[in-house]
Structure 1
């Protein structure tokens, strides 16, 4: 499969393979076929057979996003990133702490791997931030963490689509991708997410990539669900 253009709506959609087994992930990917070209692999699949599966998907021409949210001592992060580079993956998440981001940048040096900094999880709100010991509002934390990530050379920011306009207004440059989980089509249950946005609103609001899991993976017709989201992306872009 040749790389698709960034103007292709499929380049905007990462389907989250948050499934309990490799067999289920393989069946879903086969069923989605060419409708989906970008996949995210997180803890659930990653800690079983997901890393090897991501390597296979990358070799077949899919764009792979390992959502591992690395955060550890410098050497551990750097060496972990070096290992991910060898899989051929295109994106990797780390938590937006200065030492972690510096180590991740060192680990991906010379590769095409893009490092995404996770600011505040989309399952958090102001109360959760306060309970974790953070001072200030959630939005101010997202803004300060994003600015620091840009200064340290991160390629993108993982944030709620509710915050994309805020970040661009705060000076986050267009070259830095804004990747937004917590995407729910209209009428779909929010699940464990607290800062959710529809696909159309997310793209119209400035999101560069959408991460969608259960609205595609947990429905009877995942192909139709994915296509409906792609159609919303097209409509949002006019």
Structure 2
């Protein structure tokens, strides 16, 4: 896979100016960005249109969890923005995920991905909400539901990539937030892993945030992530 597409940079910023500064620093070295709820709320859908118009791909991380009709409307709106990926919450069940998939059919290139268990959650956190199984078991359960609903893939931590790839096969999109460089702090991620480990286990994309966007030199940090993915290749 093209490394400029395999690495998705998370623009977890509170305003458009800070996000744009990172994009300008990275230039053509990165083609894929994640826009989440914070930046979308602060900068609005016009910023997403701007990214798409600049030739960037956008992973719109909405984690949709609403009645099916509302989810379908949000997915159609995402498609009209030209984004490449949008997320729906797997905990919403088959009805919500199926509504999202159906709404995406008229949007060429839009992939619906089901969030399984967020990377900050532990087995104890799941027990708090009445889920007695481990995080991995819950991830696989929701992945099966997502597959049956027609989702193009799932979002999960690097720890679950290998069993997910075995379960879903070679065509599924598996996007992994929670990746950190060797020796770096995992921050709030409870189930982290390195970019290389995630891709080796079968991840199609890795999402990297502050280790690049808050680095003194984001471009050099991005090159280090690429070097981790291809340890025998000198980054360009």
Q: Mark the runs of 5 or more structure 2 residues left unpaired by the alignment.
A: none
Matched, 1:152 2:152: no
In structure 2, relative to structure 1, the CA distance for the partners of 1:236 and 1:147 (3 Å cut) is farther
| Residues in 1 aligned to 2:112 and 2:155: alpha-carbon distance in whole angstroms | 10
Pick one of 52, 56, 60 that aligns with 1:62.
56
Structure 2 residue 218 is matched with structure 1 residue 208: no
Asked whether the equivalents of residues 69 and 94 of structure 1 are also in contact (C-alpha less than 8 Å), the reply is yes
Between the aligned partners of 2:227 and 2:5, the Cα distance in structure 1 is: 13
Q: Does 1:87 align with 2:81?
A: yes
Residue in structure 1 matching 2:216, options 220, 225, 235:
220
Q: Deviation per CA, 1:156-212: give whole Å up to 9, x if none.
A: 11001111111123x212111110000000121111110000111111111110001
CA RMSD of aligned residues (A): 1.3
Q: CA–CA distance in 2 between the matches of 1:236 and 1:175?
A: 27
Residue equivalent to 1:3: none
Cα-to-partner distance string for 1:24-59 (whole Å, 9 max, x where unaligned): 111110111011110000011011114221111112
Secondary structure, aligned partner of 1:178: strand
Matched, 1:182 2:190: no
Query: Which whole-Å CA distance do the structure 2 matches of 1:212 and 1:183 have between them?
Result: 6
How far did residue 87 of structure 1 move? 0.3
Say which SS state the counterpart of residue 182 (structure 2) adopts: coil
Structure 1 stretches of 4+ moved >3 Å: none
Displacement after TM superposition at 1:224 (Å): 0.3
Tell me the SS of whatever aligns to 1:174. Answer: coil
The runs of 5 or more residues in structure 1 that have no matched partner are 1-6
User: Shift of residue 20 of structure 1?
Assistant: 1.2
Q: Output aligned runs, 1:66-215, within 5 Å.
A: 66-96=60-90, 97-111=93-107, 112-169=109-166, 171-215=167-211
For structure 1, which segment, 83-92 or 49-58, has the greater mean C-alpha deviation from structure 2 after superposition? 49-58
8 Å CA contact retained: 1:41, 1:50: no
Q: Would you say 1:13 and 2:7 are equivalent positions?
A: yes
Secondary structure of the residue aligned to 2:183 is coil
Work out the CA distance in 2 between the residues paired with 1:69 and 1:174: 24
- The number of residues matched between the two structures is 230
